[in-house]
Amino acid sequence: VRDRKLIVHVIPFENRRQILVTHDITESERIDMMRRDFIANASHELRTPLTVINGFLEIASMQPDLEVSIRSSHVKLMVEQGERMQRLVEDMLTLSRLESTEFQVRSERIDMEMMLRHILQEAQALSAGKHQISLEFDGPDISGSSDEIRSAISNLVTNAVRYTPEHGAIKMIWKNSPQGPKLIVQDNGIGINQEHISRLTERFYRVDKSRSRETQGTGLGLAIVKHVLIRHDAQLLIESHLGEGSKFSVQFPRNAVATIE
């Protein structure tokens, strides 16, 4: 078979006859490669803040009489790096929980209006008045896991704030459509070049690493969004133009509309 690797087991069967069992290992090799990549990326991401913290600790131990103002600026930088590591580990744990098949989606009625208003307030706090953020609410409640859906929407809205310069506008729209409930998170920020769009939901994929770090990104946000949406049978559509802005649309299936009180 071309381009495929097969494992062949020879198993004794009914005295002398034998059967061959073949497994296609192309898929398992791919998964193995993804796992190796993930571990390499995660270690690299954690090593950077650790190196910074260790460096400052070494200075502190070698120069105990360091000027107070210098020492407090070192402490501040160490706290920032510690927080960065914490965000990374939390996002990695969230992803691994979402991927585990044993962990079923909890189905509960989600009060969408309450959730979206709460996310709006958080986004306004993050933006600190630098953006105009609005919510158009005209859709039904849905059923699903409220924690997971909140974290997916919150990731999209946080990204919109982070990747939109001052005075930009961010719109959240919740509506019903013939295909089912739909969420749109739209910004007029920096936008994304076409070549990157299909890779954005890969773990640790970032268009601009330094900007993502500056804005406290872990590079795992959209991977978390993707997994939450798969678990809720919803689809993500990303449309973007460099320098013009981005639109993230989430299409939920019709049967996501909550029926239980």
Using the contact rule CB under 6 A, the part of the chain among 14-22, 49-57, 139-147, 217-225 near ligand ADP is: 217-225
Q: Are strands 18-24 and 108-110 parallel, antiparallel or unpaired?
A: unpaired
| Residue 219 lies near ligand ADP (rule: CB under 6 A) | yes
CA distances from 199 to 169, 193, 223 (A): 25, 11, 10
Q: How far apart are CA 224 and CA 244, in angstroms?
A: 25
Is position 157 an interface residue for ligand ADP (rule: CB under 6 A)? no
Question: At which residue do the structure tokens 């991927």 appear?
Answer: 99
Q: How far is CA 200 from the centre of its chain?
A: 9
Of residues 131 and 206, the one with the C-beta less far from ligand ADP: 206
- Cβ closer to ligand ADP: 115 or 192? 192
Give residue 19's identity as a one-letter amino acid code. I
Q: Smallest distance, Å, CB 257 to ligand ADP? A: 27
Binder to ligand ADP among 94, 143, 246, 251 (CB under 6 A)? 246
Q: Which stretch binds ligand ADP (CB under 6 A): 108-116, 175-183, 205-213, 229-237?
A: 205-213
Considering only residues 161-200, where is the footprint of ligand ADP by CB under 6 A?
Answer: 163, 187, 189-192, 200
The binder of ligand ADP chosen from 206, 226, 231, 232 (CB under 6 A): 206
Is the Cα torsion angle 76, 81, 85, 87 positive or negative in sign? positive
Q: How far is CA 221 from CA 18, 117, 226, 228, in A?
A: 50, 21, 9, 11
Closest to ligand ADP by CB, 163 vs 252, is 163
Instruction: Output the smallest distance, CB 109 to ligand ADP, in A.
Output: 28
Residue whose structure tokens are 């306004």: 124
Structural tokens at position 27: 């898929």
Binding residues (CB under 6 A) for ligand ADP: these are 155, 159-160, 163, 187, 189-192, 200, 205-208, 212, 217-223, 246
